[in-house]
Structure 1
Amino acid sequence: MRQIDDLDMLRVLTSRFRMKLFSLLFRIGPVTVSELARRMGADPGQVSYHLRQMQKHGLIEDVPELARDSRERWVRTAMVGWVLDTDIEAPEAAAVVQAWTSQWVIDQFERLRDFQRTHMTLPEDWRGAGFGSSRHLRLTKDELAQLADQLDAVLQPWRELTRSRVESSEAPPDTCPIFVFYHAFPEAP
């Protein structure tokens, strides 16, 4: 996991378009700019511009060994996971973190909504594979931190399996990108 504490890097992802582009790159792995443009419903020049902005900050990288000719550009994310440094306290930093967090939450719920809207178009054996849950708990702040650590530990072996499959490009043919998200936060009674 890479620790993100660079405000300019985070600022790049406050753009809704870039957040969607970055999420798409995580899901589909190395891909051509023209394929990204097609999937985003955008002009390839627009996609290239946003990719350059993300590349300046180390979020994505070129994969020239996949190109079939000098006009074809392949890209991928430059990291398999990252953690936001939440110790940023300056007012400008807080504003950037808030803007990014807003886009991040919007992206998560849009993806859930898209799944709910389209899950019946998936192959039959995948239609019921998704799941969701919510719980109401009463915890101290230390217990909530412990819960976060336990959930992270549960996902760690699955992240490692995913990373090895992405790096080797040898995933079983029946794998599918899986999006996991959860939130746990205090609420006013």
Structure 2
Amino acid sequence: MPEDDAPLAPQDSVRKVHELDARTLRGLAHPIRIQLLRALRDFGPATASQLGERLGESSGATSYHLRQLAAYGFVEDAPERGKGRERWWQSTHHGTRYDGSLADSPDPVLRGASDLLMHEHANNHTQDLSTWLGTSRDWPDEWRQTSTLSDYTMPLTPELANELSSRIEELIESYRPKGEGAAGSEKYRFHLHGFPLPKG
């Protein structure tokens, strides 16, 4: 499951996707940390105070969770932004990938971290969509026409479902370099959800 939160500027293209493992999943699986990482990817480098204001949290709480994210390799200092004692943070990767296999761990802590991560991402997707629906009229028609709310139902085997997801993700990623730095480009979020339906 890639969770790609923001396009990169051309000079940042070397940053890749953070592949979660058991250790880093535990480090990320906290609602504030997920929101902090998302904010840094969406809006760029920021201080703990700026992030606290954005998220409605104290700067002490955001500072603590940023240090934890740094310990797990999700964020780092943005030294070109720092002035004096002011510490700026930036994301180290443009996205996070989690294949779901950790959800079947015999470790209940790891299973809980996996559940939390998945539910937070689902909540974020719902919030993104609600925000778009509430603000779409603020955008020019050319952008409003790019929006889609589609779903497709078809019979697939697990192998075909994996193949379909992989091919869609490859297609999406092929558009990243085309949009980076292009005149008139805006941050554009594309959600991809796929799952089997209940029987009966």
Shorter-chain TM band:
0.7 to 0.9
2:190 to 171, 180, 184: 180
**Greater relative CO, 1 or 2 (CA 8 Å, sep 6+):** 2
* TM-score normalised by length of structure 1: 0.82
Number of corresponding residues: 180
Structure 1 stretches of 5 or more lacking a match?
Answer: 166-170
Match of 2:137 among 117, 120, 133: 120
Higher helix share: 1
Q: Deviations over 1:104-143 (max 9, x none)?
A: 1111111211221222234565344322211111111111
8 Å Cα contact 1:28/1:177 also seen in 2: no
Residues 136-175 of structure 1, C-alpha deviations (whole Å, 9 max, x = no match): 111111110110111011012223456xx4xxxxx35633
Instruction: Give ranges in structure 2 of 5+ residues lacking alignment.
Output: 1-16
Paired AA for residue 193 in structure 2: H
RMSD after superposition: 2.2
Rate the CA distance shift 1:17–1:161 in 2: closer, same or farther, 3 A.
farther
How high is the sequence identity, in percent, across the aligned residues?
25
CA distance in 2, matches of 1:115, 1:37: 23
- Distance change >3 Å, CA 148–CA 36, structure 1 → 2: same
State the match for 1:108 in structure 2.
125
> Is 1:3–2:25 an aligned residue pair?
no
TM-score by length of 2: 0.78
Residues 1:38 and 2:38 aligned together: no
